[in-house]
Structure 1
């Protein structure tokens, strides 16, 4: 499987609409045609997508996360280039080539008693592709911004970053779930479990956790470990959330760490496990801007979003990405 699908200038031009007297990000953003461009570009931020929902399905979840990347990109490229936004410091790397894996996943009969295990085998192949791309981006001295797919891709992010730095790294996860489920077949609910087991994850902090969807065995593991930290949404009155978030950030920020934002944490956000309860979008925007100020933050991953016709998923994702990039650029 070819690990990356690059875009041509012609493909890119079909995704945004120039207007006289205006400039769009799509007209200024840099475009990669091969991995060697990572070493050549002066751009600091490297954006790529993972259009898949195999890991979500392997976790008995609702499919649809495969379409978030395209929805994001079509909005992002049409953002106005102005005194607040610039594409000059951004390289569009392309997307992980998931077509073969998605086709194989679609051909597995859901009545097959080994259905989720077979999906898990495909997730492992995806892990390899994601980790290799992240490793290449960080090794080139760039900052990866990763969009789309299930939270299973956190494992590939961590593996790639850890191998690039040569040591374990930390993670701050804004999420309704821990994704610390048991070490069974690979899926979207055990990316951090496998990262801990395989020596890629050092300290892990999850903010906005929902108590109703966290098994007791995971609470037991977190309570018994000094490397695991969490804050429950139910114990966070709105006015106390910024201070609680700072505690979660302080737990990981002294060493290299990745920021994971699972859209399940945002109330009513179209996602694989959409919830009526959670953070609002403005809170999420404020939180990621706080993280962007930290020099040790080494990647951003936004996942589990689903694009639906009556909600501008792509616009919401664009706000989050641009908030982070602008804040980190000026940090």
Structure 2
């Protein structure tokens, strides 16, 4: 993979303690081009998807290619509460060469398969949301015959746009839905935080046709937590594994100004954290990603810190 860049220790800085009190002291660096053996069952693998080609094709504001390293810089400063035997490993970045987004998605699928075969939990850092297609395909290769992989997407958008003119950040779940349709299977997809002002009526019609589970943003809040939890439980009961993807543009711009498509009308971190708790505690989480961080438009690194805090919560809850 000529589009692969090794992990850079310069992205991991912070206070020094000599006791691994901070994550930059805990993290290890490795490569997807070399064999890797996890030393325990709680090995977390970080891999960056350093591309915003999909956002550009979707007529969004570019800058998300810088997202993975921005997340690392904030995550490294955070306190380390992992056990001594737990591993946190940075496997570097995949980049988009020659605007070839389709190749990048295929390379990500291969990399995710490698991480799973190495007994690690992949956490993909984005980067535009088109990474979801490659991430899903890589996870799906890990399934045994008959096993079902469900998608839980925290997002303002369905990302079910047709890829007639090529793949982009708005097409990943459309691509997945069509693959399932070709096999006479229904996509197992739940979207939380959908906004009517951010999705056209034909996207709602496509979602209904393919039996997509979704909650509108007005019903995805801490005041509706019991309902949210019930819907999540019902969805997860019908699948063997869960792929979770967190699009930062689903959050209100009060929390996440630095994204590809910002809006004040999004959800808050509290309901996402409660939902993640339920997902992780189910024991079905197979892979997770955080996408659409755009450092160009961030304010005081607020969005990068939000992304890092979400990952911090996930790795310590696992």
Q: TM-score, normalised by structure 2?
A: 0.86
**1:320 aligned residue:** 310
Contact 1:31 1:92 in 2 (8 A): yes
Counterpart of 2:281? 293
CA deviation after TM superposition for structure 1 residue 93, in Å:
3.4
What's the counterpart of residue 273 of structure 1?
261
Match of 2:13 in 1: 16
In 1, the alpha carbon distance for the partners of 2:115 and 2:172 equals: 20
Unaligned runs of 5+ in 2: none
Question: 1:71-93 CA distances to partner (integer Å, 9 max, x unpaired)?
Answer: 11112122223xx3457523323
Aligned partner of 1:234 in structure 2 is 218
Aligned residue in 1 for 2:179: 198
Correspondences of 1:141-220 after superposition (within 5 Å): 141-166=119-144, 169-184=149-164, 185-199=166-180, 202-220=187-205
SS at match of 2:191: strand
**TM-score, normalized by length of structure 1?**
0.83
What SS does the corresponding residue of 1:39 show, helix, strand or coil?
Answer: coil
Gaps of 5+ in 1: 106-121
Question: Residue in 2 aligned with 1:259?
Answer: 244
Q: Is the 8 A contact 1:285 1:319 kept in 2?
A: no
Q: After superposition, give the CA deviation of every residue in 1:254-288 in whole Å (9 maximum; x if it has no partner).
A: 32120011111110112111110111123322322
1:12, CA displacement in angstroms? 1.2
Conserved? CA contact 1:211–1:234, under 8 Å:
no
1:49 match: 48
Conserved 8 A contact 1:55-1:150: yes
Q: Distance in 2 between matches of 1:238 and 1:287?
A: 10
Contact 1:175 1:262 in 2 (8 A): yes
Structure 2 counterpart of 1:225: 210
Quote the RMSD (CA, aligned, Å). Answer: 2.4
Compared with structure 1, are the counterparts of its residues 276 and 91 closer, same or farther at alpha carbon in structure 2 (3 Å cutoff)? same
User: Are the equivalent residues in 1 in contact too, given 2:58–2:168 (CA < 8 A)?
Assistant: yes
Residue 240 to residue 40, structure 1, CA distance change in 2 (3 Å): closer
| Of 96, 102, 109, the match for 1:131 | 109
- Change beyond 3 A, Cα 1:196–1:224: closer
Kept in 1: contact 2:111–2:138 (CA 8 A): yes
Structure 1 residues 299 and 275, CA gap change in structure 2 (3 angstroms): same
Query: For structure 1, which segment, 259-268 or 70-79, has the greater mean C-alpha deviation from structure 2 after superposition?
Result: 70-79
Task: Check whether the contact 1:44–1:89 (CA below 8 A) recurs between aligned residues.
Answer: yes
Q: Secondary structure at the match of 1:96?
A: strand
SS in 1 for 2:190: strand
Q: CA deviation at 1:18?
A: 4.2
Q: Cα 1:14–1:192, aligned 2, differ >3 Å: closer, same or farther? A: closer
Identify the residue that residue 95 of structure 1 maps to in structure 2: 92
2:247 matched to 1:247? no
